[in-house]
A and B are shown apart, each in its own frame.
Chain A
């Protein structure tokens, strides 16, 4: 590179090239240095995300006209993580009994637990619960609460049993279903926010 004096006599443009070349090389080294220096800034870990919408817990409380209380509970603290929900039913249902049912939804990933059912009640027009039975049971359900347009919501309901049997009850919460609808899941469409199946014994 220091031969430029020699080159200068033969080609004046070469000096320019060499100088420019050096500028460019130096700025590359400088830039790269800056780049990798600037990068080693703070190494503090980011905050964990407070999951705001997650429903971890479904609690259905059935109270009979005789004052018997049965709770159906499903809890899944890691949401879509690998642990399955834990499902429990406190006692078998009695034959020929009418229960009044109340549904509570909780987000227990935050403390204190967030009552999601309040949000659902606020947006009653965009939500609806569906109760589906399977197996060898025969129960009737009726909606106990309604949205502003008089369409069912289903956070409270009544449930009447007839004869003894064993089967399942599935509670499904749909977001933005068709309202009014024909009362079936397929007729309502929408997006499933919650779907829990409990084993039910009536005796």
Chain B
């Protein structure tokens, strides 16, 4: 096997070409700050595809070079990558300096060497933005990116929606762990604390196949700060306070590392808010309490290392009191009332309805690396998600949760990144996962999600290769197997009504009269693939293209739902016959960059076969009155749109920025618009720096979504003895928000770096409603918010 390898290396290596060249280029890599030697830096001559590592004194050398100009790129774990252009006329010695700066590290040492593919439509939210958003949820932070919006249920439960796709269609990676946290529900926010991330990457298509093959909407990847290999102790602290919600957040992180390679870190975040307010009234019972604790211990000797980590997040979130309804007639009154029907005085108390969610992650990972053969990563992750939802109940059940789910996930993965000359990166891996969901029967409420076990097996391989200086191509393939085994009690009437008694007779276990116990088991096998290219036309112009194929299996909610979904005040019915959704995506990108102008436009087309959507199919009479019935259905759809970003610097202190995003979604056969597609959004901003103070004024305009499916229904209102139309589909009006931000450093002492931010959101206290917020039927969005935050690094 090794022989074959060497043959391959020799045939690709440029040294195999006969040339009479005998120059030597040697040098040293130094830290720009203190001229200390940087060992383990990877120095590559890009033109020749050769590379070497610097030794303990930072020294390196290349032999047998020809006359000419070479581009040297220097990569070091704790520095920004730099390129140097060197004209070689004679044997030379060069000193190359790197900025060895901890604040600007944005990659994870332990999460593998070759990250996403070059052609992916990738956006990165940097540490500075995360710092300013310390008080916000992940959904809020990522919606700053063009084409990403928050799909929300109130103002604290917000999930990322990429081009209108969210929940199970967006994979969230948190420090290398794929989040498994009942992500199917619209009212289930991702359980991550943005403060623990150093950068957040958003990939707007299914191309990052090393993580998963079913992210047909895209990926949100949170990466922690990389820890340097040297004797140091440093940390950061952030405090923020805001008037809307009369609360704030505090975050403290401490990192200790040694030159031997040992390191440890401890971080914590605490947030507390009372009732938030809309411009004209208080949003009763919308407060939240949250805390996060994260710690890790590890060893990194550059060529090998391991890490143990633990992360715990606890969230208690109040749900707007006025949104808890009992049937169509309550819905009619609530929707037609201009104000929420229940408005109480401000309080920090969080009453029912509320959610209490706890999410824990325990990880163990190790890697080993060789100059010649690349890198091997092994990891094991355990996740435990406990979700309690409390409704307004009667009698002895008053303090009992209505939903009590316990989801445990074990995952192992092995990633191999062999180093093959000729490839920029090469990676392959296997993963196995076991999930167990338990729904506590003591709630006294029929299970919304049944008990199930899920087994996943995955294999992927990806490669990136430069065809020449200007053209890079990448390709990836993945195969996923999934098996789900569940126990589910169905209403007997529904079981026969849907014809399951003939199609799925084998699943029947026991007939209990009105209910029937069944044991549905399904297997899915899905391939996915991605192919892309990045083509630099010249220094200013670059073209990107990516074609991807992804497949998503129906989630437990889409398969098994059959009952009243309290928070939506409707009966939801899933379908056991569902097959996986298949998404075919084409993303294009054009980027222009010069010293003043930065422009990019990214159109995309996505065809999804058997897209699972939910729509109203009738009215169900119950003793509690009429409820609308929504059933899941599969249909072929198309999504298309474009994102556009422009930045222009008039001077180095004065800049302009524009973001534009448009997405359209239709059912292919009927041309019916898809529900919950974001309206067209355009942001303009001016940035100005005066002395050290940065100012930003931002105008955020969202057009009304004029294309929506009509899901209105009629219901009998006993009070007026009339049949009334209940409008649950008409989107709210367009809105325009103005935001102001000021920020700058504070210089108190040498050892402590202070910076401050003053943020005023919704300056004019505009009352508006957002189509993508499930609470829009009952209340306005937040009014003006003044936020002050202070950050210190030491």
Chain A residues close to B by CB (< 8 Å): 3, 11, 13-14, 16-17, 20-21, 24-25, 27-28, 31-32, 35-36, 38-39, 45-53, 55-58, 74, 76-85, 109, 116, 119-120, 122-123, 132, 134-135, 168, 170, 172, 175-176, 184-186, 189, 191-197
Interface centre among A45, A58, A175, A185 (most CB of B within 10 A): A45
Which of B371, B373, B719 has a CB less than 8 Å from the CB of A132?
A: B719
What mask results when residues 427 to 463 of chain B are scored 1 for a CB within 8 Å of chain A, else 0?
0001010101011010111110001010100000000
User: Quick check: A79 and B622 within 8 Å, CB to CB?
Assistant: yes
Interface centre among A39, A78, A80, A109 (most CB of B within 10 A): A80
A27–B327 Cα distance when bound, in Å, is 55
Across-interface contacts of B716 in A (CB, < 8 A): 197
Can you list 27 A-B pairs with a CB-CB distance of less than 8 A?
A17-B303, A17-B373, A27-B378, A38-B410, A47-B441, A49-B447, A50-B444, A52-B444, A53-B394, A53-B395, A53-B397, A74-B623, A76-B623, A78-B493, A79-B564, A80-B571, A82-B494, A82-B620, A122-B395, A168-B721, A175-B326, A175-B394, A176-B392, A192-B326, A195-B327, A195-B623, A195-B718
Across-interface contacts of B451 in A (CB, < 8 A): 46
A50–B333 Cα distance when bound, in Å, is 32
Across-interface contacts of A120 in B (CB, < 8 A): 394
A76–B17 Cα distance when bound, in Å, is 85
Across-interface contacts of B393 in A (CB, < 8 A): 53
User: Quick check: A25 and B489 within 8 Å, CB to CB?
Assistant: no
Does B112 sit at the interface, judged by CB under 8 A?
A: no
What is the chain B residue whose CB lies nearest that of A171? Answer: B718
What mask results when residues 578 to 589 of chain B are scored 1 for a CB within 8 Å of chain A, else 0?
000000000000
Q: Measured between C-beta atoms, what is the minimum distance from A49 to chain B in Å?
A: 5
Does B297 sit at the interface, judged by CB under 8 A?
A: no
| 3 closest cross-chain pairs (CB), A and B | A52-B444, A81-B491, A195-B625
Does B503 sit at the interface, judged by CB under 8 A?
A: no
Does B370 sit at the interface, judged by CB under 8 A?
A: yes
Across-interface contacts of B487 in A (CB, < 8 A): 45-46
Which of B329, B371, B394, B410 has a CB less than 8 Å from the CB of A123?
A: B394
Using known A-B contacts A17-B373, A81-B491, determine if residue A24 contacts B378 with beta carbons closer than 8 Å: yes
A56–B453 Cα distance when bound, in Å, is 33
Using known A-B contacts A32-B432, A45-B519, A170-B718, determine if residue A191 contacts B392 with beta carbons closer than 8 Å: yes
User: Quick check: A24 and B366 within 8 Å, CB to CB?
Assistant: yes
Using known A-B contacts A17-B373, A191-B325, determine if residue A48 contacts B512 with beta carbons closer than 8 Å: yes
Which of A3, A32, A84 has a CB less than 8 Å from the CB of B621?
A: A84
Does B671 sit at the interface, judged by CB under 8 A?
A: no
Across-interface contacts of A14 in B (CB, < 8 A): 370, 372
Known pairs A39-B436, A50-B444 / 18 extra A-B pairs, C-beta < 8 Å:
A3-B2, A20-B376, A25-B376, A32-B412, A39-B455, A46-B438, A49-B489, A51-B445, A55-B623, A74-B623, A81-B494, A134-B721, A168-B718, A172-B718, A176-B392, A191-B324, A194-B624, A195-B327
Using known A-B contacts A28-B414, A80-B564, A193-B394, determine if residue A56 contacts B623 with beta carbons closer than 8 Å: yes
User: Quick check: A85 and B489 within 8 Å, CB to CB?
Assistant: no
Across-interface contacts of B497 in A (CB, < 8 A): 82
User: Quick check: B445 and A109 within 8 Å, CB to CB?
Assistant: no
User: Quick check: B621 and A191 within 8 Å, CB to CB?
Assistant: no
Across-interface contacts of B410 in A (CB, < 8 A): 35, 38
Does B304 sit at the interface, judged by CB under 8 A?
A: yes
Across-interface contacts of B444 in A (CB, < 8 A): 49-53
Which of A116, A122, A185 has a CB less than 8 Å from the CB of B718?
A: A185
Across-interface contacts of B725 in A (CB, < 8 A): none
User: Quick check: B434 and A184 within 8 Å, CB to CB?
Assistant: no
What mask results when residues 469 to 499 of chain B are scored 1 for a CB within 8 Å of chain A, else 0?
0000000000000000001010111100100
Using known A-B contacts A53-B445, A85-B622, A176-B392, determine if residue A45 contacts B517 with beta carbons closer than 8 Å: yes
User: Quick check: A24 and B368 within 8 Å, CB to CB?
Assistant: yes
Q: Measured between C-beta atoms, what is the minimum distance from A139 to chain B in Å?
A: 14
User: Quick check: A48 and B517 within 8 Å, CB to CB?
Assistant: yes
What is the chain B residue whose CB lies nearest that of A197? Answer: B718
Across-interface contacts of B707 in A (CB, < 8 A): none
What is the chain A residue whose CB lies nearest that of B430? Answer: A28
A135–B378 Cα distance when bound, in Å, is 73
Across-interface contacts of A32 in B (CB, < 8 A): 412, 432
A123–B324 Cα distance when bound, in Å, is 19
Across-interface contacts of B510 in A (CB, < 8 A): 45
What mask results when residues 645 to 675 of chain B are scored 1 for a CB within 8 Å of chain A, else 0?
0000000000000000000000000000000
User: Quick check: B623 and A194 within 8 Å, CB to CB?
Assistant: yes
Across-interface contacts of A28 in B (CB, < 8 A): 378, 412, 414, 430
Q: Measured between C-beta atoms, what is the minimum distance from B371 to chain A in Å?
A: 8
Across-interface contacts of B439 in A (CB, < 8 A): 46
What is the chain A residue whose CB lies nearest that of B570? Answer: A80
Q: Measured between C-beta atoms, what is the minimum distance from A31 to chain B in Å?
A: 5
Across-interface contacts of B509 in A (CB, < 8 A): 45
Does B60 sit at the interface, judged by CB under 8 A?
A: no
A173–B624 Cα distance when bound, in Å, is 9
User: Quick check: B304 and A20 within 8 Å, CB to CB?
Assistant: yes
Across-interface contacts of A80 in B (CB, < 8 A): 446, 563-564, 571, 620, 622, 624, 627
Using known A-B contacts A81-B493, A175-B326, A176-B392, determine if residue A186 contacts B333 with beta carbons closer than 8 Å: yes
What is the chain A residue whose CB lies nearest that of B327? Answer: A192
Across-interface contacts of A36 in B (CB, < 8 A): 432, 434, 455
A157–B430 Cα distance when bound, in Å, is 70
Does B502 sit at the interface, judged by CB under 8 A?
A: no
What is the chain B residue whose CB lies nearest that of A119? Answer: B395
A58–B446 Cα distance when bound, in Å, is 21
A191–B624 Cα distance when bound, in Å, is 10
User: Quick check: A17 and B370 within 8 Å, CB to CB?
Assistant: yes
A176–B394 Cα distance when bound, in Å, is 10
Across-interface contacts of A82 in B (CB, < 8 A): 491, 493-494, 497, 620
User: Quick check: B446 and A51 within 8 Å, CB to CB?
Assistant: yes
What mask results when residues 296 to 337 of chain B are scored 1 for a CB within 8 Å of chain A, else 0?
000000011000000000000000000011110110010000
Which of B369, B397, B441 has a CB less than 8 Å from the CB of A48?
A: B441
A20–B517 Cα distance when bound, in Å, is 50
Q: Measured between C-beta atoms, what is the minimum distance from B610 to chain A in Å?
A: 25
User: Quick check: B432 and A35 within 8 Å, CB to CB?
Assistant: yes
What mask results when residues 362 to 386 of chain B are scored 1 for a CB within 8 Å of chain A, else 0?
0000101111110010101000000
Across-interface contacts of B303 in A (CB, < 8 A): 13, 16-17
User: Quick check: B326 and A76 within 8 Å, CB to CB?
Assistant: no
Interface centre among A21, A51, A58, A83 (most CB of B within 10 A): A83
Which of A31, A48, A135 has a CB less than 8 Å from the CB of B412?
A: A31
Using known A-B contacts A53-B397, A195-B329, determine if residue A85 contacts B718 with beta carbons closer than 8 Å: no
User: Quick check: A46 and B441 within 8 Å, CB to CB?
Assistant: yes
Interface centre among A74, A81, A186 (most CB of B within 10 A): A81
A51–B514 Cα distance when bound, in Å, is 12
Per the 8 Å Cβ criterion, residues 498-519 of B in contact with A are: 509-510, 512, 514-515, 517, 519
Does B260 sit at the interface, judged by CB under 8 A?
A: no
A102–B2 Cα distance when bound, in Å, is 90
Across-interface contacts of A76 in B (CB, < 8 A): 621-623
A55–B394 Cα distance when bound, in Å, is 11
A187–B410 Cα distance when bound, in Å, is 52
A51–B43 Cα distance when bound, in Å, is 68
Using known A-B contacts A13-B303, A48-B489, A119-B394, determine if residue A191 contacts B368 with beta carbons closer than 8 Å: no
A38–B433 Cα distance when bound, in Å, is 12
Q: Measured between C-beta atoms, what is the minimum distance from A163 to chain B in Å?
A: 19
Q: Measured between C-beta atoms, what is the minimum distance from B572 to chain A in Å?
A: 10
Does B746 sit at the interface, judged by CB under 8 A?
A: no
Does B86 sit at the interface, judged by CB under 8 A?
A: no
Across-interface contacts of B373 in A (CB, < 8 A): 17
A186–B341 Cα distance when bound, in Å, is 10
A120–B268 Cα distance when bound, in Å, is 45
Interface centre among B446, B451, B716, B718 (most CB of A within 10 A): B718
User: Quick check: A48 and B515 within 8 Å, CB to CB?
Assistant: yes
A132–B341 Cα distance when bound, in Å, is 21
User: Quick check: A78 and B491 within 8 Å, CB to CB?
Assistant: yes
